[in-house]
Amino acid sequence: MVLYTLVATFLCTLVLPLLLFLATAKLWEIYIIRGRDPSCPRPLPPGTMGLPFLGETLQMVLQRRKFLRIKRQKYGCIYKTHLFGNPTVRVMGADNVRQILMAEHKLVAVQWPASVRTILGSDTLSNVHGAQHKNKKKAIMKAFSREALENYVPVIQEEVRSAVSDWLRSESGVLVYPEMKRLMFRIAMRILLGFEPEQTKTDEQDLVEAFEEMIKNLFSLPIDVPFSGLYRGLKARSFIHSKIEENIKKKMEKCIDETKHRDALQLLIENCRKNEEGLNMQEIKESATELLFGGHETTASTATSLVMFLGLHSDVIMRVRQELREKELLDSLSQDKRLDIEMLEQLKYTGCVIKETLRINPPVPGGFRVALKTFELNGYQIPKGWNVIYSICDTHDVAEAFPNKQDFHPERFMSKAPEDASRFSYIPFGGGARRCVGKEFAKVLLKIFLVELVTKCNWTLLNGPPTMKTGPTVYPVDNLPTKFSSYVSN
């Protein structure tokens, strides 16, 4: 009797759970195999699907670039995996990415993970489709016209100069990445949402912290329970929405001055008023939050990478200064001369420095789509309903248009050849119908930042080359501690 009890206990505690796990794994395998469309003769891409239900989400979240590098080395430019609750195909390489980006609404449609859609909102530009996407994009693009950008230059220059002055006064050095996020957040609040300077200073710290929390939890399991990532992200979003709503109400109370430039938030309000449904406060808050996210997080990432790459390549700084000297801008800018769009357009090499930074460290690693129907891609089938992730960083890495890919070499962009060799070898702003609407704004902002930095500062990276991580944008794990000192032109 005792022996029987021991055997029964052994079976219940060890063998039965093992059998259940094996059965679950087998059912998982069958489920994945059934995902293949039998009407298509092509095989599924190579790859692994990970653990039952969880897939490979945890490995990807924890390892990020290492996970992606191992996958690419093992399976090539198209492979399958299982992320954020969905079977997924990851795609890289100019030709493969071109087919995805140019097939919007035909073969694929944008579909970010459930946690992103929940936190940012279903009515944001990145999540809407068809006519709604077209109308919203048209309204926002007015905020990035050449005339609008010209009006932004003084505000950007004022904020950058103020930040650089603070950095120069710090004797122990500064943590560049957090400083850059605050700087770009202030600029986005003033330019995109029309916050007044004093209001920006009052709300900045609380809003920055809330955005940090929201962004940290964008890519999380879609489970809204207390203390979960999604719960924390939504709580932070609620605070951001409350501050934006205050600003929206102030704007609505004011009479519109037709002669004065209107910020992106004002344009969104006007666009909503023109719709038959009338003013939708939730929709405007979601769109404004998306603008703040896109308008500061990505530029903060790239500006930090600029400081890093130039801190490691003093010869590039010298050449930027030489270009400014040739345009008779170096001395005048150090004496607080005001920039304009025409001046910025003349700085070709400075623009190449930004392009090369975006090539090596694109701030956004890729984009999410969903297959609307089963289709073939480079000999593999992509089943209907599967997620498709196109990779920006890996596409840059495998592009044959860029020899010596690991070298920071802005001169490669001085001729048109590298960028034009294939339209989709270089895609830091994405491509197709969903190419980044703030592309020109980002270029102007980053060029002003770089010009102001090299005319005012020398700098040293206190920890040397940092380790870079992605979450969700690219950043240095040590926050890039840097000592700035004044530069005096000879």
For the annotated binding site for heme, the residues are: 436
- Is-contact 390 367, C-beta < 8 A? yes
| E strands in 84-226 | 86-91, 108-110, 174-175
**DSSP states along 295-336:** HHHHHHHHHHHHHHHHHH-HHHHHHHHHHHHHTT-HHHHHTT
Which residue reads 């994009």 in tokens?
137
Q: How far is CA 359 from CA 217, 279, 363, 364, 426, in A?
A: 26, 40, 10, 11, 7
Distance of CA 183 to the CA centre of its chain: 17
Identify residue 175 by its one-letter amino acid code.
L
Distance of CA 107 to the CA centre of its chain: 24
Which residue reads 């969880």 in tokens?
54
- Is-contact 86 52, C-beta < 8 A? no
Q: In whole angstroms, what is the distance from residue 51 CA to residue 24 CA?
A: 10
- Establish whether the linkage from the previous residue to 472 is cis, with ω within 30° of 0: yes
Which residue reads 């794994």 in tokens?
25
- Is-contact 126 111, C-beta < 8 A? no
* Binding site as annotated, residues: 436
List the one residue out of 385, 399, 184, 200 whose CA is nearest residue 300: 184
- Is-contact 449 160, C-beta < 8 A? yes
- What's the first-to-final CA gap in the chain, in angstroms? 96
Q: In whole angstroms, what is the distance from residue 41 CA to residue 326 CA?
A: 61
Q: In whole angstroms, what is the distance from residue 351 CA to residue 27 CA?
A: 53
Q: In whole angstroms, what is the distance from residue 19 CA to residue 14 CA?
A: 9
